Chains A and B, each alone.
Chain A
Amino acid sequence: MSESHRALAHQFDDLEQQAEAATLGIWAFLITEILFFGGLFTGYAVYRTNYPQAFAEASHHLDILLGGINTVVLIGSSFTMALAVHAAQSGKRRALIAFLLATMLLGAIFLGIKVVEYSHKFVDHLVPGRTFTFPGAYAPQAQLFFSFYFAMTGMHAVHMIIGLAILSVLVGRAWRNRFSAIYFAPVEVTGLYWHFVDIVWIFLFPLLYLIGRH
């Protein structure tokens, strides 16, 4: 790396230092994300400990099969994202584009299944608001559960959509051959973001879908 790379910003000594700064930068962002979702999880913890019975009953109205499939789909997309970073590290342009597209496809499948789940909730009147009806003793508390459900999975879905937008930009840049074995920091950083969104779902799935199933 003796000669200057065109992607090297002037404030960095070399690409390695630039990549390290990029990694720390995205982690600083992810810390704010941990605390952003952490606030939602804390609110969830408070109300679930207050109304454990109502939360368990409300959880039964979520589709465990669709939620489970989505978990597998999202973990699969993390796997293809990791392979995309690996392809970028190895300087394999075609593999990079293929794995980025595979990640986008799996992300889109996740969102599609989410749309199906949401539409079921609208049909069943389980969306918080004036039409909310819950067959059980704890209707107001169940409405609280569904408020958390829509806020948490909704914010998660927004992060997925942003991730898909970033991935599509990466595909375009990979297509124009902007990445190489010595410069692939944008792919790596996007991967870190994508894996974080996966982690949020890893917690959302058991906490929303799997409570009180026995």
Chain B
Amino acid sequence: MSHPTVSPKLYFLVFATLLILTGVTVSVAYIDLGPLNTVVALTIAGCKTLLVILYFMHVRYSSRLTWVFAGVGFLWLAILMAFTMSDMRTRSWQPAPSGWTTASASWRADVPEP
């Protein structure tokens, strides 16, 4: 067919690496790295995703057009996230009006003042 067969041995290697990375991501979560914890967790998840896409999903052995299709999904996701977050983080938020019935006294307490 259009792509050469990936050997079961390679599948197993990818599977084992995914399990090791799962162990690493759980262990790292218990170490206090400050804001870097999220960065590390997302980096590991990204590496796992890359392994799954390249080997389990055969993209490494697929046509160039498949590469483009697989790539643009994540490109558009990056656009969605980047523009949403740049908007969210750069607005001058107004304090919530009083009368928010379910809010406790700590309403938005953890949001820094603009």
Listed in ascending order, the chain A residues whose CB lies under 8 Å from chain B are 15-16, 19-20, 23-24, 27-28, 30-31, 34-35, 38-39, 41-42, 45-46, 49-54, 64, 68, 71-72, 75-76, 78-79, 81-83, 86, 89-90, 137-140, 182, 184, 188, 191-192, 195-196, 198-199, 202-203, 205-207, 210-211, 213-214
B80 near A214 with CB under 8 A, answer no
B22 near A71 with CB under 8 A, answer yes
B34 CB, nearest partner CB in chain A, Å: 10
Q: Which residue of B lies closest to A81 (CB)?
A: B56
A selection of 28 A-B contacts at a CB cut-off of 8 Å is A23-B62, A24-B65, A35-B77, A38-B76, A42-B84, A45-B81, A46-B88, A50-B108, A50-B110, A51-B108, A52-B110, A75-B15, A75-B19, A79-B15, A81-B56, A82-B55, A86-B8, A89-B5, A137-B106, A139-B102, A139-B104, A140-B102, A140-B103, A140-B104, A199-B49, A199-B52, A210-B26, A214-B29
Main secondary structure of the interface of B (DSSP, over half): helix
Report the Cα distance A191→B5, complex, angstroms.
14
A19 near B49 with CB under 8 A, answer no
Which residue in B30, B85, B106, B109 is a CB contact (below 8 Å) of A214?
A: B30
B5 near A210 with CB under 8 A, answer no
A60 CB, nearest partner CB in chain B, Å: 12
Listed in ascending order, the chain B residues whose CB lies under 8 Å from chain A are 1-2, 5-6, 8, 11-12, 14-15, 18-19, 22, 25-26, 29-33, 37-38, 41-42, 44-45, 48-49, 52-53, 55-58, 62-63, 65-66, 69-70, 72-74, 76-77, 80-81, 84-85, 88-89, 102-104, 106-111
A50 near B56 with CB under 8 A, answer no
B106 near A138 with CB under 8 A, answer yes
Q: A79-B14, A137-B104, A188-B58 are in contact. List 9 more A-B contacts (CB 8 A).
A: A20-B63, A24-B69, A49-B89, A51-B111, A75-B22, A79-B11, A195-B57, A205-B25, A206-B44
B43 CB, nearest partner CB in chain A, Å: 10
Q: Which chain B positions have C-beta within 8 A of A30?
A: 70, 73
B8 near A35 with CB under 8 A, answer no
Which residue in A52, A184, A210 is a CB contact (below 8 Å) of B29?
A: A210
A27 near B70 with CB under 8 A, answer yes
B22 CB, nearest partner CB in chain A, Å: 5
B77 near A34 with CB under 8 A, answer yes
